[in-house]
Structure 1
Amino acid sequence: MTNKSQQLRSDYRYEQHLTHLTLQGKRSATIDAYSRVLRRITHQLDKLPDTLTNDDLKRYFTERIKRHSWKYREN
């Protein structure tokens, strides 16, 4: 798949994501937060949203907790 077709596919999926959140009645601040997280995950893992696996998400959030949780920080 070419980069252009990947970008078109990603853009389409992203717009679907926003539409679904809107139809679920989410507030604009919630939609913005969810969208930022999705962009951050896909950027960091260098994957399209619809190719993310449960293991990808577990790995991403485990690393986030380790980096940002007081529990894991050294004194």
Structure 2
Amino acid sequence: MNKAQQHRSEYFYVQHLIHLTLQGKRPATIDAYSRALRRITHQLDKSPDTLTTDDLKRYFTERIKRHSWKYREN
């Protein structure tokens, strides 16, 4: 991401934290959700507002392949 995209991504990340807090989520939930968002946007190198359904499908398919016992055995 370029600088403008990074600033945009940071803005949406902060907004995400604010919304989770206002929803009354517990700190551990906020931490888990925010780490997941950082991981996804970092790996895909995209701001959260530009992620598509296909991006997320691709990301989670790869996560399952890397972390599932089922896929490790094969």
| TM-score, L = length of structure 2 | 0.89
Q: Which runs of 5+ in 2 are unaligned?
A: none
Matching of residues 8-47 of structure 1 within 5 Å:
8-47=7-46
What CA deviation, in whole Å up to 9, does each residue of 1:27-59 have, x standing for no partner?
011101111111111111111111000111111
Number of residue-to-residue matches in the alignment: 74
Q: Which ranges in structure 1 are unaligned for 5 or more consecutive residues?
A: none
> SS of the residue aligned with 1:8?
helix
Percent identity between the two aligned chains: 85
Structure 1 residue 3 corresponds to structure 2 residue 2: yes
Offset of residue 65 of structure 1:
0.6
Q: Tell me the TM-score normalized by structure 1.
A: 0.88
Aligned to 2:71: 72
> 2:61 matched to which residue of 1?
62
C-alpha RMSD of matched pairs (Å): 1.6
Shift of 1:4: 2.9
Greater relative CO, 1 or 2 (CA 8 Å, sep 6+)? 2
